[in-house]
Amino acid sequence: MAAFVIRRVLAMGFVLFAVSVLVFLIFNVIPNGDPAARMAGKNVTPQVVEAIRVEWGFDKSLPVQYATTMQKLFTGDLVSYDNRVNVVDEIVRGIPRTFALTIGAAIIWLVAGVALGLFTAMRAGHWTDRLVTVLALVGISMPVFWLGALAAYYLGYKAGIFPNGGYSPISEDGLFSWVHHLLLPWVVLATLFIGVYSRVVRSTVLDTINDDYVRTARAKGLPERHVMTRHVLRNSLIPVVTLWGLDFGLAIGGGAILTETVFDLQGVGQYFAESIGRLDVPPVMAVTMFGAFFIVVFNTLVDIVYALLDPRIRLQ
């Protein structure tokens, strides 16, 4: 276990390095990517651009530029090329918003997905099963930005049931306002996953329910409730928990960009999207590292939890 974690941490260092190099290179080769030219603005003399280039070190070789950027990132001194705001401060400001959104949505989609999956598995072939199946496919097929825009427009702007976007910290306006602002984004982000999870749970439960040990459990005279929870669900949820950990890591690491933007939550994802629009390399680098970090961490956690849930799996 300890060896496993150490190896994973080393691997994570490698992944983060590779990702950061890739992103850095991409932003240096794309057209119109010269930061000095964009920082100087329009209608300036080449001398001004050159001065900025020297001042910010854009005249140095790429490896040196990369090293400086990374060093500043880890010392917390990295600032945006665009507005000179400290990148790490911006991310720290966005973290509670992104976490509030993704954690809430992940809980909603897990609970709703498992409940619907179990419901349809128990009624496989029944019309309610087919109805939920169709709804799940509709949920999977709806783009987040479209669903989010519809929800924000009709339920927020038109009907006034929900606030018109924005984030309300608990420390300022209390728990109710926090939930009130997040409810729509939660549901919108969760919709796709509820659809996927209900399908996955349905099929794993139907697989498990015909397993020999479930028949053994019935032959033992266990109450049906125990057969379902201790034997069917306990086994069929192993792949679901795995999937959940990976999806949650992905959502934090960038999957919530659209939802954050549609509802103007000002989280890390929205910051990322805006920075890309401005070809602002430092925040893009920083958020990429942030996202990659969570994705790798959750991958590792999933492996550990998987081994805990299934005794046949050993971490080696």
Partner 1 sequence: MTEPLLDVRHVKVDFRTEDGVVHAVDDVSFELRPGEVLAVVGESGSGKSVTAMTLLGLTRSPNASFGGTAKLRDLDLISATDAELRAVRGRDIAMIFQDPMTSLNPVHRIGAQIVEQIRAHEDISERDAMERVVELLQRVGIPRAGERVSSYPHEFSGGMRQRVMIAMAMSCDPAVLIADEPTTALDVTIQAQILGEMRELRERSGTAILLVTHDLGVVADIADRIAVMYAGRIVETGTLDEIFYDPQHPYTWGLLGSITRVDRDRPGRLPSIPGMPPSLSDRPEGCHFRPRCRHEFDACPKYPELARRAPDAPGHLDRCWLSPDAKRERRVMADGEIGLEAGGVTA
Kindly list the residues in this chain that would bind partner 1 in the complex (CB under 8 A): 211-213, 215-224, 226, 230-231, 234-235, 238, 309-312
CB-wise, 42 or 225, nearer to partner 1? Answer: 225
Rounded to a whole number of angstroms, the minimum distance from the CB of residue 217 to partner 1 is: 7
- How many helices (H) does the chain have, and how many strands (E)? 14, 0
Rounded to a whole number of angstroms, the minimum distance from the CB of residue 238 to partner 1 is: 8
Rounded to a whole number of angstroms, the minimum distance from the CB of residue 211 to partner 1 is: 7
- Around 161, how many Cα atoms within 13 Å sit in the side-chain half-sphere? 8
* Largest Cα span, the chain: 87
Rounded to a whole number of angstroms, the minimum distance from the CB of residue 188 to partner 1 is: 35
CB-wise, 93 or 220, nearer to partner 1? Answer: 220
Phi, psi of 86, rounded to the nearest 5 degrees: -65, 125
E-strand ranges in 153-243 read: none
Q: Contact at 8 Å (CB) between 80 and 282?
A: yes
CB-wise, 93 or 218, nearer to partner 1? Answer: 218
Among 56, 21, 19, residue whose Cα is nearest residue 35: 56
Rounded to a whole number of angstroms, the minimum distance from the CB of residue 6 to partner 1 is: 26
Rounded to a whole number of angstroms, the minimum distance from the CB of residue 220 to partner 1 is: 4
Buried b (16+ CB within 10 A) or exposed e, 249-280: bbbbbbbbbbbbbbbebbbbbbbbeebeeebb
Separation in Å, CA 55 to CA 25, 207, 279: 21, 64, 19
CB-wise, 88 or 232, nearer to partner 1? Answer: 232
End-to-end CA distance of the chain: 7
CB-wise, 130 or 220, nearer to partner 1? Answer: 220
CB-wise, 102 or 235, nearer to partner 1? Answer: 235
CB-wise, 182 or 240, nearer to partner 1? Answer: 240
**Quick one: CA torsion of 249, 250, 252, 254, rounded to 10 degrees?**
160
Rounded to a whole number of angstroms, the minimum distance from the CB of residue 226 to partner 1 is: 7
Q: Angle 170-209/87-122 helices, nearest 10 degrees? A: 40
